[in-house]
Amino acid sequence: MITCAIVLLTLVPSLGFARSTDQQANAAYELVSSGCIAANNEIPFFKGPPNSVARIDARESVKEKRRYNNSEVSTLFGYGKLFIEQLIVSADSVPDELKPIFALSLFEFLSRYGVGERREVGEYYYGDGLAGLTVRFDRKRLSELKWTCERD
């Protein structure tokens, strides 16, 4: 979990040409450190209503898949808390806070964050078993960022 917290925090606030607010950095940190529970039941990075929502009610919880153009957020709401299971950010529908990350070339990204574990051609994984970040590059540009969190 610590590795993913570091990766998430470095992805957003430390870019020289894109200064995130303390609130954005705190939101990323709180999400990871709280066991992937969203602060104030708000989806990080995606502000405003989703384009579509698919919902499944199950006993005392609700599972949702929210689409923001070509990006997707999977959540589980139960016991008054919103648990973020997965965030998939596509290069053609990037939230403002993450745009500087998608502007980096493959070389710049790997120089800044390390190589990670190579999975396939152009795909790298950063994680610690509880949470993981997978990045995919197409033609040396970031095409997808996928953050996944497992529940204990």
Give Cβ neighbours of residue 8 (< 8 Å, ≥ 6 apart): 28, 29, 31, 32, 133, 147
- Write the CA distances from 20 to 83, 98, 130, integer angstroms: 23, 10, 26
Distance CA 4, CA 102 (A): 18
**Tens digit of pLDDT for each residue in 61-78?**
999 999 999 999 999 998
Distance CA 5, CA 67 (A): 24
Find which of 13-27, 38-52, 60-74 is predicted with most confidence, using mean pLDDT. 60-74
- pTM for the model stands at 0.76
Burial 55-77 (b: 16+ CB within 10 A, else e): eeeeeeeebbbbbbeebbbbbbb
**Tens digit of pLDDT for each residue in 79-130?**
888 889 999 999 999 988 888 888 888 998 888 888 889 999 999 998 877 7
- 109: tokens are 């990204």
Enumerate the β-bridge partners of residue 148. 86, 132
Domain range summary for the chain, segments of one domain joined by +: 2-50+85-149
